[in-house]
């Protein structure tokens, strides 16, 4: 019995120590740190780049590639707690995500019925932060591309900066939405500097580049995929 108690105490001490380390390094809240610590330990997460993303000037949209069920839990643990997370319906209903959903405000959306919400635009204009989760499709068809167009319109109307987020290795975890799973792969959170879509359009050599296409290209860049603009253009529906 004493051995069991000692083991439990040691586990709790390690958990709290990891949480304290995350608070000191990343500036996240205590409850966020407690729920993040097990992921940090199990998946040996390289989270250095999330520190800059957390301090991105508002208004800002965090656009997250969702390869697994882990991304919402990790982003709720790591992004500022005032961030509004727009979850897919499955993540919004999953019972095991309840502790992480309690860390911030969450709403759900149906990807088949995407629309531009005036309330989201106003929230951003008031200095808000949004986190949106995009299906793991690097070559979306016209129907799938509607989500990029909706996010781009919101960003343009609110003059919001966009921070793409890609968690390398998430598609290999037990939470993956695809095949190819393996036990406890190391994860790395990749982000890019915040920038408005208007600025991305101006940087482009293609003066006709749409905001939605600029968003997709930026998201692909976060994954390490670089393409020539004229080779990846999704026509508007």
180 and 64 within one domain: yes
206 and 118 within one domain: yes
**pTM as predicted:** 0.89
Residue 109 belongs to what domain range?
Answer: 44-231
Judge whether 38 lies within some domain: no
Distance CA(194)–CA(177), nearest Å, equals 27
Poorest-confidence range of 35-49, 61-75, 77-91, 172-186?
Answer: 172-186
Please state the rounded mean pLDDT for residues 22-44: 91
Domain count, the chain: 2
Distance CA(110)–CA(87), nearest Å, equals 9
pLDDT at residue 58 greater than cutoff 90: yes
Higher pLDDT residue, 21 or 162?
162
Q: What is the pLDDT of residues 132-175, one digit of tens each?
A: 999 888 888 887 788 899 999 999 999 999 999 999 999 899 88
56 and 143 within one domain: yes
Judge whether 237 lies within some domain: no
131 and 28 within one domain: no
Q: Average per-residue pLDDT in the chain?
A: 85
Q: What residues are paired with 195 via a beta bridge?
A: 162
Distance CA(188)–CA(175), nearest Å, equals 15
Distance CA(204)–CA(162), nearest Å, equals 16
166 and 74 within one domain: yes
Judge whether 148 lies within some domain: yes
b/e map of 97-106 (b: 16 or more CB within 10 Å)? Answer: beebbebbeb
23 and 68 within one domain: no
20 and 129 within one domain: no
């Amino acid at each position: 019995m004493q051995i069991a108690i000692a083991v439990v105490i040691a586990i709790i001490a390690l958990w709290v120590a990891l949480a304290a380390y995350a608070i000191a390094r990343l500036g996240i809240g205590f409850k966020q740190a407690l729920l993040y610590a097990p992921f940090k330990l199990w998946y040996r997460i390289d989270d250095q780049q999330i520190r800059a993303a957390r301090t991105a000037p508002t208004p800002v949209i965090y656009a997250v590639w969702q390869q697994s069920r882990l991304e919402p839990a990790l982003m709720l643990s790591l992004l500022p707690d005032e961030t509004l997370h727009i979850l897919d319906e499955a993540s919004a209903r999953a019972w095991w995500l309840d502790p992480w959903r309690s860390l911030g405000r969450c709403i759900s959306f149906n990807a088949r019925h995407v629309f531009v919400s005036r309330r989201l635009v106003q929230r951003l204009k008031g200095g808000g932060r949004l986190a949106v989760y995009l299906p793991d499709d690097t070559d979306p068809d016209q129907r799938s591309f509607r989500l990029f167009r909706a996010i781009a319109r919101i960003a343009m109307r609110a003059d919001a900066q966009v921070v793409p987020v890609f968690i390398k290795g998430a598609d290999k975890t037990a939470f993956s939405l695809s095949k190819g799973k393996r036990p406890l792969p190391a994860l790395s959170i990749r982000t890019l500097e915040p920038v408005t879509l208007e600025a991305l359009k101006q940087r482009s050599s293609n003066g006709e580049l749409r905001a939605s296409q600029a968003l997709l290209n930026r998201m692909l860049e976060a994954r390490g995929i670089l393409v020539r603009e004229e080779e990846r253009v999704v026509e508007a529906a």
